[in-house]
Structure 1
Amino acid sequence: MADRKEQDALIQQPDAEAEAEPEPEPEQLTGCGASALCDPRRKPHRFLVLMLMCSLSFGSYFCYDIPAALQTQIKQDMKVNSAQFMQLYAWYSWPNVILCFIGGFLIDRIFGIRLGTIIFSCFVVVGQVLFSFGALLNKYWLMEAARFVFGIGGESLAVAQNTYAVLWFKGRELNLVFGLQLSMARLGSTVNMNIMGPVYDAVERYIGVESYYCLGITFFIGGVTCLFSLACGLILGYLDKRAERILHRKSHGTEKVIKLSDVRYFPLSLWMIVMVCVFYYVAVFPFIGLGKVFFEEKFDFSPTHASAVNSIVYILSAPLSPFFGLIVDLVGKNLMWVLLAVSTTLGSHCLLAFTFWNPWIAMVIMGCSYSMLACSLWPLVAFVVEPHQLGTAYGCMQSIQNLGLAVVSLGSGAILDMSGYFMLELFFCACLCVALIFALLLYLINLFQGGKLNLSTRERRKLEDQSRS
């Protein structure tokens, strides 16, 4: 498998037998191909690859949060309640309870990272087109089915993106790269939160047709971003194939093949990471999905003001994710950053639940904490599993995450309809307490086992140098 060899070439340290073999000479480039932007051995080319890599998720995240940006319009035009509205998020998550894991395995074992990325990007495009037609035809069941199709591609595409990041950048500012990927994804969500309402109003004003028809047209306009991400995936695949040829990746390392049974032997620390991820994200994404109306009702905000404060988490994460990623790269101590992020997010939800302080304070704290957690938690997977298992491990992590998101999306809508926003906030606080417990357990397990999840950057580099000698 080409991609297994690619990962071994860039991630694994060669064994003694491999070191004894003469390495093939890198291909000599001529003409414009030898320029810094076209040579995969030089930083400008890697920066270009990074930009394309980050753009893979822009369209997916933009369209994922379209329901949150148009919550009031969808509920009014499609005549649904909060529980039915949240099914749009649940149907996105349900397929990924299984398919993220399968998608990661397919990337590792069958498709390879390049073909897998393109296939999953196509699912995102098709899902968004069907979602738009569902609104256009006033068929809510079709919108739900479309979110299912959209979800098949969306989360598996994130698995491919994470695998690309480790393939190209492990040992080279990986935390920063994860932060930049999150930044671009959140930029998509931020732009969506702030422009889709005005786009809907403009469509309604200038076309002057039935409301659900305006929804469909608005969704089609948003779907253009998915085509942009697909184009980035195609270009990235070409550049990665070219780099494989130039750098002779296939000639390095020892090929290993993952089997589904290997999941049974994933270390306990990986499952602790997964649990922190699940219980943290279920207190963030479903809240943002319902947050606009919360700010309108509790704080008497206008729809525009409510959308702005609801999107501040995404707005802040765009610049702060790479910033925190760089800090974590310089300092290390990933687990300490994870503990801090979970604790401060819990504090922000407590402010929203128990006080009438200006919600901008709590949401700014949540935005900073969310950025901190994403760039410190996700890279930990690369330190606890073998390189040839990365896609499967990330897929497994996102599968369980989506199970939690699907259940909590349905549950939060039901809690809101029956008991209101105060009880919903208490529920989110409870989820974060569980995440904090698992983070502490992970810290203790790593401490007692002498693991490297909480090493400083200097300690980690020293350990890597020793392993090479």
Structure 2
Amino acid sequence: MKVEDWKWRYLILVFDCSMTFGCYFNIDIISAVQADIQGQDTGTCANITNATCCDGCLGLGPDRYNQLYTAFSWMNALFALPGGYLIDRIGNRVSAIMVTTMATFGTILFAVATMDGIQGTTAMFPLMICGRVLIGAGTGSSLIVQDRVVAFWFKDRISFVYGFVIFALRVGNVSNFLLTANIAKHYGIQWAFWMGTVACVIGVLSAISLAIVDYYGTLQLDDDCKINMKALPVSRKDIREFPAIYWMICLMIMSYYASYLPFVSNGTKYIQDRYGYSKTTSSYYNGAIYDTSVVISPLVGSILGAIDCHGIVLTSIFAFTLPIFPLLSYCPEIHPLVLTIWIGISYTFAGVCLWPCIIIVVPKKAIGTAIGIATFIQGMGIGLTNLVTGKLLGFTEDPNKESLIHKYQKMFWLLLSMCLFCTLCSVVLNILDLTKERKLNRRLAKKSVKEMKNFADEKSPLMTDAPSIQSYVSIDASNVDLAPGIQ
């Protein structure tokens, strides 16, 4: 039996998507309660400012708060390189259980750091850093496993299926922004973080289920499919032979995510300070980025599969994103919900389109390693951007609103520069792709082959002993059909 003939493969997709739910619930869990983490606890509900709160605040300030994101991103990056290589070596099943368990231990450490007896002590911040480090290591690796599963079981429908993968990831983000702030408000910040641990346990159970179904699924396949699924060694030569387009994709992933994720991490507090909304409402508006993605991501996968021009779509989406940062910075009359929905639309198209490009342009046996390298570059860029953002916003919160808004504007200029760099990289990527194999703009390749066929039909001689133009066109057409990508 072939992979595409096994009807239960969509059950594997369900567990594959659910596996990362807990990780993505916890990525921005601190953003949902940013004011409580940054602000100083006054012990009273009088004289509350943007730098204080009445009860339960942790008092980290903007700089150390952003260091929590930096710890997550850099560990995500550092673990991705050996993680991708090891996952290629040991396979998906064991890897899925290992990495989700690692993330779960990280959420436990983070929640323990906020408990009575540790909260406010010198041990609190180091424990929080350690927790974020483990969450980062587990999250990056779980995405590599997830992409490897999709690459094997759904190679015939990558863009369509990846829309549902992004949908599942965004459900984790949305659940966080809907639940965490309310749990912290009614039951305390500690219980909000323990809820993150529960979400990660769901991911572990899904990983175990994925391993079981994946094992029985491979028993149904023919010998050729089983051979293709086996983990194969990846050498340094394989990495050196990655095409230039792959490295350009890595730069695009790094710069695009570094342009929007630091806003998500600081967006709740920015909306609260800039527009005057409550902590809960600000969390909802910031979370609208992911609400939008949940709604449109399955449709986006179908659209991209129909367009079949990933490179050109990416350039269009990055250009579409550029105006957002000046509008956030200098146009407070525009409702923040409009702008966060705008970010959500552009992010969804970029997310669904970017990562499958790696699967398209690198050999199948090196997908884990390739995604690991891309995740490393991405995490280093995001972590550095968050670190600079924390320095721009200051070690402690500025009680002067005008001065604080000026600091936010510097942050938005930084994010705009990253998005502009990403747009330029996408232009270079299209030049490379259109002048060579056109793997990322396959519709244009098919159009070119069709034009060559028409030319051969009209111009080829009726009788000749030499190879005809038609024969060369047929060879080119077959190569296009064999190229990896969306059929």
In the other structure, the counterpart of 1:440 is 427
User: Which of 321, 324, 349 is the matching residue for 1:345?
Assistant: 321
SS in 1 for 2:217: helix
The AA in structure 1 aligned to 2:33 is L
TM-score, normalised to structure 2, is: 0.82
In the other structure, the counterpart of 1:135 is 114
Q: CA deviation at 1:416?
A: 1.9
Contact preservation (8 Å) 1:330, 1:457 = no
Change (3 A) 1:463 1:325: farther
User: Which of 68, 71, 74 is the matching residue for 2:34?
Assistant: 71
SS in 2 for 1:451: coil
User: Which of 247, 251, 266 is the matching residue for 2:221?
Assistant: 247
1:184 matched to 2:168? The reply is: yes
User: Which of 25, 32, 35 is the matching residue for 1:62?
Assistant: 25
Contact preservation (8 Å) 2:438, 2:445 = no
Any idea what the Cα deviations from partners look like across 1:282-329, whole Å, max 9, x if unmatched? 111110110111112222222232112111110010121111111111
In the other structure, the counterpart of 1:117 is 96
Change (3 A) 1:465 1:269: closer
Contact preservation (8 Å) 2:104, 2:201 = yes
1:104 matched to 2:84? The reply is: yes
Q: CA deviation at 1:368?
A: 0.6
In the other structure, the counterpart of 2:354 is 377
SS in 2 for 1:365: helix
Equivalent-residue separation in structure 1 for 2:302 and 2:360 (angstroms):
18
Q: CA deviation at 1:350?
A: 2.3
Any idea what the Cα deviations from partners look like across 1:88-121, whole Å, max 9, x if unmatched? 1111112222211211100112x21111111101
SS in 2 for 1:95: helix
1:450 matched to 2:437? The reply is: yes
Any idea what the Cα deviations from partners look like across 1:267-287, whole Å, max 9, x if unmatched? 110010011111100111110
Equivalent-residue separation in structure 1 for 2:285 and 2:377 (angstroms):
29
The AA in structure 2 aligned to 1:342 is F
Counting aligned pairs with the same residue, the percent is 25
SS in 2 for 1:170: coil
In the other structure, the counterpart of 1:230 is 204
In the other structure, the counterpart of 1:14 is none
Contact preservation (8 Å) 2:433, 2:439 = yes
Equivalent-residue separation in structure 1 for 2:343 and 2:27 (angstroms):
20
In the other structure, the counterpart of 1:400 is 377
Q: CA deviation at 1:405?
A: 1.1
In the other structure, the counterpart of 1:391 is 368
Deviates more, 1:268-277 or 1:87-96: 87-96
Any idea what the Cα deviations from partners look like across 1:152-178, whole Å, max 9, x if unmatched? 11111111111111111012x211211
Contact preservation (8 Å) 2:181, 2:192 = no
Equivalent-residue separation in structure 2 for 1:310 and 1:251 (angstroms):
44
Deviates more, 1:408-417 or 1:53-62: 408-417
Contact preservation (8 Å) 1:244, 1:250 = no
Equivalent-residue separation in structure 2 for 1:442 and 1:181 (angstroms):
25
| Correspondence list, 1:3-14, <5 A | none
The AA in structure 2 aligned to 1:146 is G
In the other structure, the counterpart of 2:459 is none
* Stretches of structure 2 lacking an aligned partner (at least 5 in a row): 40-56, 396-405, 450-476
The AA in structure 2 aligned to 1:141 is P
| Correspondence list, 1:37-436, <5 A | 41-43=5-7, 45-76=8-39, 77-109=57-89, 111-136=90-115, 137-138=118-119, 139-171=124-156, 173-203=157-187, 214-249=188-223, 256-356=232-332, 357-417=334-394, 420-436=407-423
Count the aligned residue pairs: 419
Any idea what the Cα deviations from partners look like across 1:382-430, whole Å, max 9, x if unmatched? 1211000000001110111000111111111111228511111111111
SS in 2 for 1:374: helix
CA radius of gyration, larger in: 2
Equivalent-residue separation in structure 1 for 2:444 and 2:371 (angstroms):
23
| Correspondence list, 1:4-43, <5 A | 41-43=5-7
The AA in structure 1 aligned to 2:409 is F
Equivalent-residue separation in structure 2 for 1:106 and 1:42 (angstroms):
28
* Stretches of structure 1 lacking an aligned partner (at least 5 in a row): 1-5, 11-39, 204-213
Change (3 A) 1:250 1:234: farther
The AA in structure 2 aligned to 1:190 is V
TM-score, normalised to structure 1, is: 0.85
Equivalent-residue separation in structure 1 for 2:107 and 2:237 (angstroms):
34
Q: CA deviation at 1:347?
A: 1.7
Any idea what the Cα deviations from partners look like across 1:332-377, whole Å, max 9, x if unmatched? 1111211121111112222212322222222221111111111111
Contact preservation (8 Å) 1:132, 1:215 = no
Contact preservation (8 Å) 2:445, 2:480 = no
Q: CA deviation at 1:465?
A: 7.2
Q: CA deviation at 1:221?
A: 2.1
Runs ≥4 residues deviating over 6 A: none
SS in 2 for 1:411: helix
The AA in structure 2 aligned to 1:133 is V
The AA in structure 2 aligned to 1:132 is A
